[in-house]
Structure 1
Amino acid sequence: MSRRRRFAELRAARGYSQEEFAEALAVAASTVVRWEGGRATPRPHQRPRIAELLGVTLPSLEALLCKEQPVEIAALADTPPLVHGGDDDMKRREVLGLLAVTGALVALPDTGEAAARGRTASMLLESGEALHRSLWQVYTLSDSKQVVFPAVRAQLDVMATGLAETRTAGDRARLSRMTADLYQLVGELFFDANRYTDAAQCYTLAANAAYSGGDHDLWACAMTRHAYVELYARRAHAAQPLLAAAFRIARRGDDTLSTRHWVAAVQAQAYAAVGDLDACNRALDEAEQVHALDGAHSHNGGWLRFDGSRLAEERGACYLQLGRPDLAEDALAAALARPLSLRRRAAVLSDLAVLGAHRRDVDQVVHYAEQALGLADRSNSGFIGKKLDGLRGRLAPLMSDGRVSTLDHRIAALPRTA
């Protein structure tokens, strides 16, 4: 059964004709006909209400709206990668333009007018936060992260309209927080596509929007993501002041949230990068305190996802960078034994392959690198490619082994998104 046919059957099962369904959504009946025929797709701001009418969750609705795909590639995105060729460069420029527009609207001072808000602003204030949580969930669960890009780009357009319509200070603050949330997701998409400068710009705008919205936790998370871009570029000295500021901001936030513990976890990586084992351990111990919080309410699954479940792999990566394979192996093995997303599993496998290279153990290198390459082929993720590039730098002493030279060539041949 096609997904759009299932969409129509759910509508009928809930007792709505196409005309009644259209009336409940304030759209033309012909629009519902196009949706069910697969000739059009609901806009992001319409989807929470559609999910409510159909009696399904937002992620389930997203699945119903996805284009049909052959079974063997159903786990991969039907959308082209974010940055491949001129057409995608144009899409990227459009997104950057929307960032500029929404950023300007967030920064404009409150007019003090009490006029009624516009229709788009009202819809955003009613359902925008739920939609953004849904987009984060799709992003988190998708092997290929770019699958969420079209919906995010469309939602940026909606945010620009909503911000332009908003008059009261309270509404502006809420929409500023939603904008900061969305900016961080756009930054994650750019980061996964190896567009690090674009990602950093998104996180800077997110920090400014969060400040305008009066949310310290959201602000600290944007600063931390910006710092992570610098860490990933092996610029720990540039990351450290960002993280220090983020930690100070987080301490002014909600102490029931995990924000300050996430900042500490990223600080541990910065300390590892400069070779400070003691400071790294202190930061990791601070991060571990997240387990003392109420796990059900310490994060929101969107812009704040830190729950401590990644600490084993992060500890292993830190020890590996510090040149302490004796400490790294147990942590990485413990991480690999846990349920992991495709991208996280590839990162742990890459680190275990690096550990094998450190020991000159070709069998270990090949065993783990082959698995990581398989995951890279499935996801087309720039993040995994970058992790494997780090392994390539350790392979030179082992290149006399044909298996290692083959690995080197395969890593070099991975598709690059930038």
Structure 2
Amino acid sequence: MSLAKRRKALGYTQEGFAFAVGVDRRTAGRWERGQSQPQPPQRPKVAEVLKMDLDELDALFAPAEVLPKPEGLGPSAPDGSEDTDEMIRREFLRLMAVSGALAAVPIDEADALAEGALRGSVGDFERMNGHLWQVYQLARAKHSVRPIVQSQLQALNDALQDGEGQASTLCLAAGDLFQLAGELAFDANRYDAAAASYALAAGVSKEAGAYDLWACALIRSAYVDLSEKRYQQAAETLGAARRVALRGDSALSTRHWAAAVQAEAYAWLGDFGACEEALDEAEKVSHLGGEASNGGWLRFNGSRLAEERGARYLQLNRLGLAEAALRDALALPPLASGHSFRRRGAVLVDLAAIGAKRRDSEQVVQYGLEALRLARASGSGYVARRLQTLNAELGTFGRDRRIAELKAEIGTLTA
């Protein structure tokens, strides 16, 4: 027997049952649809209202037996079961889509605040999101953070459906969390999923009037364009991000981060003057006092500008300027201590690329192998992509055995 049938057999409406148990009607509705279950502290009361013992209640909420999937309904693993990673990814995207839609729907502020105050939920998402960004930043294998983020997305969905907390607060939480979800997708080379995440983040951030959060979503979206070689489109998106950021908090570094990334787009377009102008604007982050970044969705504080400048000069084929800046970046304490595997990996690959352009096999092998070891240790898709780009430049070394071995190792990694 289902929960709904048991409720009706006892003469309860859904609203009456929810009142008797002491929950919101929408919570009872989710129990009946199998979207969630009563928590342990709630179960004795639910069992009492339904006139059941706890064992019977557990049986009522036990998941139904999973039937075999009919043929032809999507990809399967070799053993016939659906690819677990693909299932998780689809659920991840579904949760974001639902949260984005719910965050855009106005709710009654008075009711939301009253219920949020009773449950003590206001501010919980902001604190948890901040913690997740820290975990993500420190994790060697970024994908390991995904289950926690997925759980937070489900909690956010529940809050949005219940109207827990102030509407603007929930929009901010959604815009923050969607950007972290996008980072996970981007690091795993899933550009479509990353772009969808950032678009949702931009939409709800705009809805909340959070200009810096909105601008950061646009900046991250531009990274997808850069990865797919849509450089003009990226430059335009970053120009929009800079304009949005000007309406935000002048004490934050958002507009300077947008300029730093825009410099990359201009470098790919071969525009040295525009690239230098954008880099100079990014350098002005040093004029900001206090905390220029929040350590979560905004982490740009200017500490990586040496490597950014070196990478831009490499793109523009200014090899002497590039190598000097990159060596300075490699010597900085955050990189030397392994604080950011992605950043250190990018610097190493760029130094190897300079060696390739100079046909210096010693430099290529030295930095290329170190970047390869780091990519394997961290599982970073970003460093793997950078190495794949380096591989394309190593075809001119003829029969150099060490270069051939490096290419083969990179090919194995990126496969």
Q: TM-score by structure 1 length?
A: 0.77
Residue in structure 2 matching 1:107, options 81, 104, 108: 104
Secondary structure in 1 matching 2:297: coil
Q: How many Å apart are 1:369 and its aligned residue?
A: 0.3
The percent of aligned pairs where both chains have the same amino acid is: 49
Q: Tell me how far apart the structure 1 counterparts of residues 306 and 170 of structure 2 sit (CA, whole Å).
A: 36
Q: Tell me how far apart the structure 2 counterparts of residues 97 and 216 of structure 1 sit (CA, whole Å).
A: 26
Report if the CA contact (8 A) 1:121-1:165 is conserved: no
**1:126 corresponds to which residue?**
123
Q: How many Å apart are 1:297 and its aligned residue?
A: 1.6
Distance 1:280 1:124, change over 3 A: farther
Secondary structure in 1 matching 2:122: helix
**1:384 corresponds to which residue?**
383
- How many residue pairs get aligned? The number is 334
Report if the CA contact (8 A) 1:219-1:249 is conserved: yes
Where does structure 2 lack aligned partners over 5 or more consecutive residues? 1-38, 44-81
Residue in structure 1 matching 2:94, options 92, 97, 108: 97
Distance 1:308 1:108, change over 3 A: same
Distance 1:182 1:122, change over 3 A: farther
**Residues 45-82 of structure 1: CA deviation (Å, up to 9, x unaligned):** xxxxxxxxxxxxxxxxxxxxxxxxxxxxxxxxxxxxxx
Q: How many Å apart are 1:415 and its aligned residue?
A: 5.1
Q: How many Å apart are 1:384 and its aligned residue?
A: 0.8
Report if the CA contact (8 A) 2:225-2:233 is conserved: yes
Residue in structure 1 matching 2:315, options 313, 321, 328: 321
Q: Tell me how far apart the structure 2 counterparts of residues 245 and 386 of structure 1 sit (CA, whole Å).
A: 27
Report if the CA contact (8 A) 1:176-1:212 is conserved: yes
**Residues 189-218 of structure 1: CA deviation (Å, up to 9, x unaligned):** 000000011101100000001011110000
Report if the CA contact (8 A) 2:242-2:258 is conserved: yes
Q: How many Å apart are 1:370 and its aligned residue?
A: 0.6
**Residues 373-414 of structure 1: CA deviation (Å, up to 9, x unaligned):** 110110111101100011011101113101101111100000
Report if the CA contact (8 A) 2:116-2:164 is conserved: no
Residue in structure 2 matching 1:188, options 138, 163, 183: 183
Distance 1:120 1:407, change over 3 A: farther
Q: TM-score by structure 2 length?
A: 0.77
Report if the CA contact (8 A) 1:143-1:379 is conserved: yes
Q: Indicate the RMSD between aligned Cα atoms, in angstroms.
A: 2.0
Distance 1:291 1:28, change over 3 A: same
Say whether residues 1:367 and 2:366 are aligned partners. Answer: yes
**2:16 corresponds to which residue?**
none
Report if the CA contact (8 A) 2:225-2:234 is conserved: yes
Q: How many Å apart are 1:126 and its aligned residue?
A: 3.2
**2:325 corresponds to which residue?**
331
Distance 1:403 1:167, change over 3 A: closer
Q: How many Å apart are 1:228 and its aligned residue?
A: 1.1
Q: How many Å apart are 1:109 and its aligned residue?
A: 2.8
Q: How many Å apart are 1:336 and its aligned residue?
A: 0.4
The range that moved more, 139-148 or 188-197, is 139-148
Alignment of 1:34-53 (within 5 A): none
**Residues 252-289 of structure 1: CA deviation (Å, up to 9, x unaligned):** 00000000000000010011010011111110000000
Q: Tell me how far apart the structure 2 counterparts of residues 382 and 399 of structure 1 sit (CA, whole Å).
A: 28
Report if the CA contact (8 A) 1:224-1:263 is conserved: yes
Report if the CA contact (8 A) 1:117-1:165 is conserved: no
The range that moved more, 157-166 or 107-116, is 107-116
Report if the CA contact (8 A) 1:272-1:280 is conserved: yes
Q: If you compute each CA radius of gyration, which structure gives the higher value, 1 or 2?
A: 2
Higher relative contact order (CA 8 A, sep 6+): 1
**1:150 corresponds to which residue?**
147
Alignment of 1:153-192 (within 5 A): 153-166=150-163, 171-192=166-187
Where does structure 1 lack aligned partners over 5 or more consecutive residues? 1-25, 31-84
Say whether residues 1:272 and 2:267 are aligned partners. Answer: yes
**1:77 corresponds to which residue?**
none
Q: Tell me how far apart the structure 2 counterparts of residues 261 and 401 of structure 1 sit (CA, whole Å).
A: 43
